[in-house]
């Protein structure tokens, strides 16, 4: 399983490096979408500080959704997904390794850059240093959840007609708790309150998703390729 995981992870990262325009599209969307809100809402500093956490989190969620459709579809079309699922000791172990590697690669290409850019966009909204740190920490905990749930949605809609719309309908409701607790942690810090509860819930969601999402994704991949 370790060999399959490492091989799939390296392959996806190399493909992302070769297809830079596709890899940078979610990041560009995230930056442009967040930057447009101050222009549309107005330059009032207090208003911008209040809405900044929700805006950044919503844009991060939508940006993460952009690249989910291609997570497995290209490999299914060229037949490489079947080869990956047959490369392990058993199909179940191979599919689990593939699901985990694909989700990690998606987070490294999409979620991690969004987390790194979040402090700069927080400064754009006039957010104080302490809430910016909380925003970065919440994204660091929350974006892996988005990648794991997105991988599950991509596997469930693999090969389905109009799968992109169905993918959004499946994944977005599952991501709402992460969105609420992630933005709520920043609001709590900005209000002078403790955000320990929000971060604890985010950590619990991350652990639960890491344990269950790859298993469900592996089962969905096996069903889709049979």
Nearest to 76 by CA among 143, 15, 154: 154
Spatial separation of the C-alpha atoms in residues 73 and 50, rounded to whole Å: 39
Determine if the pTM surpasses 0.85: yes
Tell me the C-alpha to C-alpha distance, in Å, between residue 23 and each of 42, 68, 124.
31, 11, 24
Check if the beta carbon of residue 119 is closer than 8 Å to that of residue 135: yes
Q: Determine the Cα angle at 210 with ends 121 and 218, to 5°.
A: 115
What lies within 8 Å, CB to CB, of 194 at 6+ separation is 188
Share of the chain above pLDDT 90, in %: 46
Confidence tier at 163 by pLDDT (50, 70, 90):
low
Give, rounded to a whole angstrom, the gap between the first and last alpha carbons of the chain: 21
Write down the pLDDT at residue 162: 67
Give the residue, 167 or 131, on which the prediction is more confident: 131
In 3D, which of 167, 175, 178, 144 has the Cα closest to residue 72? 167
- Encode pLDDT of 31-46 as tens digits: 999 988 888 887 788 8
Does the pLDDT value for residue 24 go beyond 90? Answer: no
Tokens 């889709």 belong to: 224
**What local confidence, expressed as pLDDT, does residue 152 receive?**
92
Residue holding tokens 């927080």? Answer: 122
Angstrom distances, CA of residue 101 to CA of 1, 24, 37, 84, 210: 10, 20, 35, 11, 12
pLDDT exceeds 90 at position 192 = no
Band the pLDDT of 86: cuts 50, 70, 90: confident
């Amino acid at each position: 399983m370790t060999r399959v995981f490492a091989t799939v992870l390296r392959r996806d990262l190399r493909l992302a490096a070769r297809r830079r325009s596709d890899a940078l599209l979610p990041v560009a969307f995230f930056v442009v979408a967040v930057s447009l809100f101050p222009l549309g809402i107005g330059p009032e500093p207090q208003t911008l500080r209040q809405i900044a956490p929700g805006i950044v989190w919503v844009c991060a969620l939508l940006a993460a959704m952009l690249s989910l459709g291609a997570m497995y579809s290209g490999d299914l079309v060229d037949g490489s997904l079947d080869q990956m699922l047959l490369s392990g000791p058993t199909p179940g172990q191979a599919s689990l390794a593939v699901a985990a590697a694909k989700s990690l690669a998606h987070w490294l290409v999409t979620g991690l850059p969004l987390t790194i850019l979040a402090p700069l966009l927080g400064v754009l909204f006039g957010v104080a240093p302490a809430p910016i740190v909380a925003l970065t920490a919440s994204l660091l905990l929350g974006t892996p959840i988005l990648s794991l749930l997105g991988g599950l949605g991509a596997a469930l809609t693999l090969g389905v007609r109009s799968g992109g719309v169905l993918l959004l309908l499946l994944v977005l409701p599952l991501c709402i708790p992460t969105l609420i607790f992630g933005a709520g942690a920043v609001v709590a810090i900005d209000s002078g309150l403790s955000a320990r509860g929000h971060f604890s819930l985010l950590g619990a969601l991350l652990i639960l998703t890491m344990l269950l999402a790859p298993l469900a994704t592996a089962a969905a991949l096996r069903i889709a390729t049979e």
